Chain A
Amino acid sequence: MRVLLRTTIEVANRGLGVACEARDGLEAIEVWRTCQPDVVVIDHRMPALSGLEAAERILAERPDQPIVLFSAYLNDQLRRSAAALGIRSCLSKDEVHRLPETLWSIAAA
């Protein structure tokens, strides 16, 4: 799944690039601290720590960090929880082709 995201982003090009990758929620927090990306794209359903939990910890350290929640199971409840935490955008896995434009709109904001 990470390869798909990376390829999608790299093919879209236009200045977008993948700064770093992590295998699960715990690793994501460690990698994020050293890498300091412009935007975090995070899956919700992950081993060890869910995407929402990882996002909550990241936002606790840096409240203005733009985060996109990328999940196969986007329902209203998940969207509301994400918005309440301060996650900027949610994207369904069926809409992976919309990822570059989502990243651009967040960067432009």
Chain B
Amino acid sequence: MSVRSIAVCIKSVPAEPDVAIDRVATRIAREEVKGTLNPDDRHAVELALQLKAQSGAARVVVVSMGPESAREVLKEALAMGADEAVLVSDPALAASDVVGTSTVLARALEKSGPHEVVMLGSRSLEGQTGAVPGMVAEWLDRPLGPRVREARLEGDELAIACVDAEGAYAARLALPCVLSVGREAPRPRLATAMGVMKAGRKPFLQLALADLGLDPGSVGKAGALARLMAVSAAERQRKGKTIDASRPDALREVVGKLSARGLL
């Protein structure tokens, strides 16, 4: 099987380091912060563009589920070199959990496909569940390559190199397949000026729930199997230690601490 189409699911995440938390709605106050392309997804777009060049695929399609603001990250991926974009946007999708999100993405991938390879960022910066890639693979009934840092078409299989907490390994996946991509993948390219100018002229498909044949009760807040009870901003603590320079053994202590950590 050759690779004709590669899809990448991408997400807009808050750009600012200090996001506002809406405690009543138990969510990030998304309308107040500027969105940016989720860092892992950026690596996934890069890997997809490299695989397109290596495999001779005809297109890279970027797919996002989110509010209208997700349009911007889709445009950015188009400016990086993706060929087509699909935005799934519907008020009923707000507060979807991982099951709802993966259901919608799987349907959108079927609708815009077939895609021989589907890539997703390993995790999103603000959700951090890391569950969506596996669930999408499950809905599509395809093998999953987790935390892929290299992918090449060899014969009719995809040769991948992966990393996990234990180390690195190589594998071969039958097509079609799903890959999750993390920061180990190649450094993402920047958009080019030519890409920026062309992005607005590339095919852009916008879909609502009805277009995917999904019942509003099965997704979003209504269909969520998990419910978020409370959210709070993380307390940031620095583990700094102040050493009084006037003490006679101050220098010795600094040297000792640095040596103990193998920094000298």
Do A and B come from the same complex? no
A→B interface (CB under 8 Å): none
Q: Which residues of B contact A (CB under 8 A)?
A: none
